[in-house]
Structure 1
């Protein structure tokens, strides 16, 4: 497989370390992250500049008067994110290196060019670029004919991209696309993977074979989520781009990348610029070429300085937990009904808190399934939370109390109220409420958690509350799908 080897290797190593949560400053707690003792020498003041919304519109090409290059980035924990005031991610590290590269030819006493990152939704990358709200779009973008009609792409830094099968290590591994007949595959809704699987089903039908059961995940889910659920054994099979699969197999121990089972092959990944910016395109192409020869040392530095243990998603459906689920389900159903929560959602929270273990006790004295402090329980009318029934009732009542007292504004959608309440259960309602105000100042939507307030929480508090809400939503998906399967079995009997 031919690729721009050294640059790609650098990007892949950085990417894989970010998937593992490596560059995060450490486990955050409700009391907030500790201050960092030393600054990361990779990050200059100029490189650390982040704008949370485009503030000007211009379409100038790279030239002698250029002082700032605005990089439109897709906000996510792989491509780009901000933690404790510092930007991280594969595209961030790439353009920090580019900043050094582009400034090499500028004399010492002349003003340097600085990089400014502008995080946007993936679907806004190219439209904002064309509108002049940024100078380059960077989001691990696949080059397609449709996109090439709108923008100019740099030389690819990942070539010959294939859509490959990824399976749970304990699953029966198909050896060909035809052996997917009758199997269930989870993929992103509206993705190229889904499109190619439907084409496969047409071929299977022509040969009188059973179709693939294609399960398209909600738009709020991403490939990272699905891969983690495959690793946990919640799902068995999915498809992702091969270079992403290569990264994840170093991070997730229980996935198997089946390279010989490909839905599509021959794709490329590149950065996008406007067609009337040839000098900028030429500069980026030179950087891609430079990367082939000069980034091997940086790979070693990244690996040595940042490698840490991986935090893994667990499987809430594993066999040894079935007894707990069966025993506790009635309590979650009652508590959910009494407080107007989906009982599967609060059971997912219980799994995140304690793995549904009533005997769990935290160092701070939090008890039981919902890991609630006795003092907190008493403040809302529960004097004894030593039984699973009372513990669950108190925990869900407290979650409802948070929702009613802090996140009950009419402008907050119902689902977002649940997300905010979960975050506040973990990090404290006053902290989350104050960061909603901060999100508004940054041009983000203070009434939405995902891709909005969660960005600021990651920046100001750390990973813990963000991962807490994310994990609960993933466990909820697992419980919901399992529950629907069981209901289907009951109806068929």
Structure 2
């Protein structure tokens, strides 16, 4: 299966909509994070904290809020992608380079939230930045500060579907129902149109709020289906989706806003963060080499959106997910973590063979699988390969890390580190952590620091990548439930 198809298919499964995107290309502007130090729990990311960039560097995390969207942010199996995700990786590298960090880095963690939570979460300290194709408006400036423009000349246009009435001018929207998110700049633009209509003695547009979990692509999908006759979206999004949804008609002649600017939002009174983001966007925003490459990648070729709907690929991934669920449940692991590890090992490719003799989706050696403690004779099939890999993780967790002072999360992280470095070595690292005054029962910020000194970055990177993928899975599956419910409610 082509990489782009694999990305789109699994993300579509998780979200119930087309949520894939083009895969980061070899040598692209999306370098993988190569050291650890990420927060140990999603709950940490959601804790309320307000402060400027210096405090974020001390905490070693910048929380970048966005929305789950096939252009902005999506999950490829366990790997993240999208315009915002790639920008986050670039920002992370720049912050670490300027701060002079080495093995223990500052991380820019992307967190998807519903649209109407983007700015409130920034204000009350549940996030530090928001990048989600946010048009800079007067109403929004009352709540937050914005960076310099990341994109300019943004237009908001009417888009109609097969159930729409004839429209010749914007004034023809008088008395019509237009479906948009209440939190969107589209709603703000429609309110401005209503002021003009009232001055002319015309009936107002009926602004019908749609669920905040629906992104532009979701709304346009429902316009195509005839559920929503009329909506308003940014021109660049309408052009992209119209190549995939043939029944929608972008009306370039009906623009409610022209010459708009998109920016990144942040809390008021964050001058250090604003200066850093402004400098970053000056080098990486629209009109720069890097910015233009990313824009072309995600907004130029719509083929990856079409790939997301291929039923044969989605069926294959459903089967794969069920195998992971089955054996993760049997051996008392979180299936999302196991699938994240499999992605790190093989990109979910059962045909992969390593020069060291590791086989399949879990990259387990046949000799390891045949060991009496595992007892799987043949790992050439996907099911037996997953079975062997997960059972081996449980054997290591029980044999080496069955300690009442080690919680389930850290026992699994130690087992994952052992999968890469060997359980005896990880047990030794725990002893050294204790001798160094670190907590031997916690991987992040403790045993990982010893691993970075003794082994180098390989195992540290291995665990960090898997845990990042796992956090992405957690967040995207939570959002999937909300999106699925919103789409179902819209059709009733």
| Structure-2-length-normalised TM-score | 0.51
Q: Distance in 2 between matches of 1:277 and 1:461?
A: 27
Deviation at 1:101, TM superposition (A): 3.5
Please give the alpha-carbon distance, in whole angstroms, between the structure 1 residues aligned to 2:212 and 2:56.
Answer: 43
Q: Is the 8 A contact 1:74 1:125 kept in 2?
A: yes
Where does the alignment leave 5 or more consecutive residues of structure 1 unmatched?
1-19, 31-37, 314-351, 353-362, 365-422, 443-454, 481-493
Corresponding position of 1:92: 85
1:65-464 alignment, distance < 5 Å:
68-78=60-70, 79-104=72-97, 112-130=105-123, 132-168=125-161, 173-189=166-182, 191-194=184-187, 196-197=189-190, 200-201=193-194, 203-204=196-197, 207=200, 212-291=205-284, 292-295=287-290, 296-297=292-293, 307-308=303-304, 310=306, 459=473
SS in 2 for 1:100: helix
Residue from 23, 42, 45 that aligns with 2:33:
45
Cα deviation code 1:222-280 (max 9, x no counterpart): 43322111123333211123343243334433322112212334443211334444333
Instruction: Judge conservation of contact 2:240–2:300 (CA < 8 Å) in 1.
Output: no
**Contact 2:243-2:302 at 8 Å conserved across structures:** no
Closer, same or farther: CA 179–195 of 1 in aligned 2, 3 Å: same
In the alignment, structure 1 residue 474 sits paired with structure 2 residue 487: yes
Shift of 1:172: 5.4
Q: Which sections of structure 2, spanning at least 5 residues, go unmatched?
A: 15-23, 338-407, 410-468
How far, CA to CA, are the matches of 1:312 and 1:64 in structure 2?
36
Write the distance in 1 (CA, Å) between the matches of 2:308 and 2:280. Answer: 35
1:300-321 CA distance string (max 9 Å, x none): 67799995352689xxxxxxxx
2:64–2:128 contact (8 Å) kept in structure 1: yes
1:134-185 CA distance string (max 9 Å, x none) = 4433333333345435543211112343331011268555231122245443
**Matched residue count:** 334
Q: CA 1:23/1:302 → structure 2, altered by over 3 Å: closer, same or farther?
A: farther
1:6-21 alignment runs, 5 A limit = none
* Counterparts of 1:164 and 1:152, CA distance in 2: 25
3-state SS of paired residue (1:73): strand
2: distance between equivalents of 1:307 and 1:117? 25
- Contact 2:180–2:208 (CA<8 Å) still a contact in 1? yes
- Report the Cα distance in structure 2 between the residues aligned to 1:467 and 1:65, rounded to whole angstroms: 31
Q: Normalised by the size of structure 1, how large is the TM-score?
A: 0.51
3-state SS of the aligned residue for 1:228? helix
Q: Indicate if the aligned counterparts of 1:185 and 1:213 stay in contact, CA closer than 8 A.
A: yes
Instruction: Quote the offset at 1:84 in angstroms.
Output: 3.3
Given the superposition, is the C-alpha separation of residues 120 and 110 from structure 1 closer, same or farther in structure 2, using an over 3 Å criterion? Answer: same
Matched, 1:24 2:3: no
Change beyond 3 A, Cα 1:183–1:462: closer
The equivalent of 1:445 in structure 2 is none
Q: Provide the C-alpha distance between the structure 1 equivalents of 2:92 and 2:153, rounded to a whole number of angstroms.
A: 27
Preserved CA contact (<8 Å) 2:65 2:112: yes
Check the 8 A contact 2:144/2:266 in 1, yes or no: yes
Whole-angstrom CA distance in 2 between matches of 1:468 and 1:67: 31
Taking the aligned partners of 1:29 and 1:191, their CA distance within structure 2 comes to: 27
Stretch moving more, 257-266 or 210-219: 210-219
Three-state SS of the structure 2 residue aligned to 1:310 is helix
Question: Matched residue of 2:473: which SS?
Answer: helix
